[in-house]
Amino acid sequence: MPIFTVSGSTLVIAAPAPRPAASRAPGPYRRLFAVPGARAFTAGNLLARLPMGMFGVSAVMMIAGQRGSYALAGAVTATGLAATAVAAPWTARLIDRYGQARIAVPATVLAVLGSLSLVLCVRTGAPDWTLFASYAATATTPNLGGMSRARWAHLLRDDPAGRHTANSFEQAVDELCFMCGPVLAALLCSAAFPEAGTLTGALLLLTGVLLFTAQRATEPPPAPPGTATGPAPLRAPGMRGLLAMFLAMGAVFGSMEVASIAFLDAHGLAGGSGPVLALQALGSCLAGLLYGALRPAADPRRRLVPCVAAMTFLMCLPYAAAATGSVLLLAGALLAAGMATAPTMVTAMSLVQRMTPPARLNEGMTLAVTALLAGIAAGAASAGTAVETLGPARAYALPAAAALLTLALATARNGTRTTFRY
């Protein structure tokens, strides 16, 4: 209200000093990207990670279109996955030892040359073995998600809440790339020419890695020469049990995808299965962003079993929906099933970070990704057999069973001590 004062014979009316506006605290994601250099390295990493969801679909469409054999296309991509399982941990170990820019750039160049060789061999009608050799060369592609998470761990080493938000954001990015990448690849290969998806993916990968590694200010320092880097991540207490859990979790995802494709095919929707399958990734992406804005228990061991239990329950919903024969119910069940994926992956990756020596963080996270990919391959193969013997609807019992196994493994290792912390 106004303040009345008397100065001599004059009445002075003074307006009250304005109250300072209540300042809202910035949200967790605004705080995350206020970190100097975070936006720059994230932009490059996003560009480089999008092709991760493109290469497999592009290779299948290109090889099947030119050679007329889906069996050959599947065998080539499976060989690339097996080569990645062998090469990726070694690439990550070199990155930890010598630095991201020094190793990731030449490793990416070699992977891009493998993609270009594949295009050339397919186009010129080269012998089948050249396709296997070319695609195997792409296994040197560095674990871009792991490198980004390592940067966040370095920048936010004194901020546990910030690391939780960063890990959630990175998981949401993974889901986004594997949701948009296949769609973009299919569009390019069908609308342009069969090799367009692979060529575009190779260009995006190389450009993104160059932009990402150019941000040297945020790069974690490599271990000084001659210093101990800690024990191998596989020797960390409880790590092997955690990797077994990642393997089972991968089986959930691989078997769910194959069962869904078979179910939709049986209902005449094989050509339009992409949008339905993308609902699971969409649910995970949204849940990951929401989970990053929350402040859960600081110790990820306390979060692991509840997250896996929620995932197990939700992964059983597609089995129930498929039993009704309704595609609409299945779509809703896949969306719901995806909502527990990101929180579970974020928590499990947080455990990997705590259990891995800081100087070998890329190696530890790459081992987790490798176990996940191996589980996806095993789950996909098992689901194919289940579809043939049990039918598409009953094949959904396989991801539900794999989820139960994941819960059993999570419960069994939950009391394991973690040695390394940030």
Q: Which pLDDT belongs to residue 245?
A: 92
Q: Residue 374: is its pLDDT beyond 90?
A: no
Q: Residue 336: is its pLDDT beyond 70?
A: yes
Q: Residue 191: is its pLDDT beyond 90?
A: no
Q: What counts of helices (H) and strands (E) characterise the chain? A: 17, 2
Angle at 201 between CA 197 and CA 204, to 5 degrees: 140
**Contact between residue 392 and residue 259 where contact means Cβ atoms under 8 Å apart:** yes
Q: What is the mean pLDDT of residues 67-79?
A: 78
Helix or strand holding residue 9 (H, E): none
DSSP-derived pairing of the beta strands 10-14 and 3-7: antiparallel
Q: What is the mean pLDDT of residues 331-353?
A: 86
Q: Where are the domains of the chain?
A: 39-222, 230-422
The highest-confidence range among 158-162, 273-277, 340-344, 397-401, by mean pLDDT, is: 397-401
- d(Cα 48, Cα 177) in Å, to the nearest integer? 10
> What one-character DSSP code corresponds to residue 127?
-
Q: Residue 212: is its pLDDT beyond 90?
A: yes
Q: Residue 72: is its pLDDT beyond 50?
A: yes
Q: Which of 288, 304, 350, 352 is nearest to 92 (CA)?
A: 352
Q: Which CATH class is domain 230-422?
A: mainly alpha
pLDDT tens-digit map of 14-65? 555 555 544 566 678 888 888 888 899 999 999 999 888 788 778 877 887 8
Distance of CA 180 to the CA centre of its chain: 13
What sign does the dihedral 117-215-281-341 (CA atoms) show? Answer: positive
Q: Residue 244: is its pLDDT beyond 70?
A: yes
Q: What is the mean pLDDT of residues 145-166?
A: 86
CB atoms within 10 A of CB 154: 15
Q: How confident is the model at residue 419 (pLDDT cuts 50, 70, 90)?
A: very low
Residue in the block written with tokens 């994601």: 29
Distance of CA 184 to the CA centre of its chain: 17
The highest-confidence range among 86-90, 126-130, 363-367, by mean pLDDT, is: 126-130
26, two tokens = 């910035």
- d(Cα 279, Cα 292) in Å, to the nearest integer? 20
Q: What is the mean pLDDT of residues 182-208?
A: 87
Helix (H, G, I), strand (E, B), or coil: what is residue 271? coil
Q: Which pLDDT belongs to residue 407?
A: 92
**Contact between residue 112 and residue 168 where contact means Cβ atoms under 8 Å apart:** no
**Contact between residue 86 and residue 139 where contact means Cβ atoms under 8 Å apart:** yes
Same CATH topology for 39-222 and 230-422: the answer is yes
**178 has which bridge partners?**
none
pLDDT tens-digit map of 281-297? 888 888 888 887 777 65
Distance of CA 44 to the CA centre of its chain: 16
Angle at 74 between CA 68 and CA 75, to 5 degrees: 105
Q: Residue 161: is its pLDDT beyond 90?
A: no
Angstrom CA distances, 65 to 12, 57, 60, 73, 269, stand at 88, 12, 8, 9, 21
- d(Cα 337, Cα 352) in Å, to the nearest integer? 23
CATH number for the segment(s) 39-222: 1.20.1250.20
pLDDT tens-digit map of 269-278? 655 556 777 7
- d(Cα 167, Cα 288) in Å, to the nearest integer? 9
Q: What is the mean pLDDT of residues 249-272?
A: 78
Helix or strand holding residue 6 (H, E): strand 3-7
In the chain, % of residues over pLDDT 90: 20
Q: Residue 7: is its pLDDT beyond 80?
A: no
352, two tokens = 């990997």
Q: How confident is the model at residue 226 (pLDDT cuts 50, 70, 90)?
A: low
Q: Residue 158: is its pLDDT beyond 60?
A: yes
Helix (H, G, I), strand (E, B), or coil: what is residue 159? coil
- d(Cα 358, Cα 289) in Å, to the nearest integer? 26
Q: What is the mean pLDDT of residues 382-405?
A: 86
Instruction: Quote the longest CA-to-CA distance of the chain.
Output: 106
pLDDT tens-digit map of 89-145? 889 888 888 888 899 999 999 999 999 999 999 988 889 899 999 999 999 999 888
What sign does the dihedral 180-400-78-392 (CA atoms) show? Answer: negative
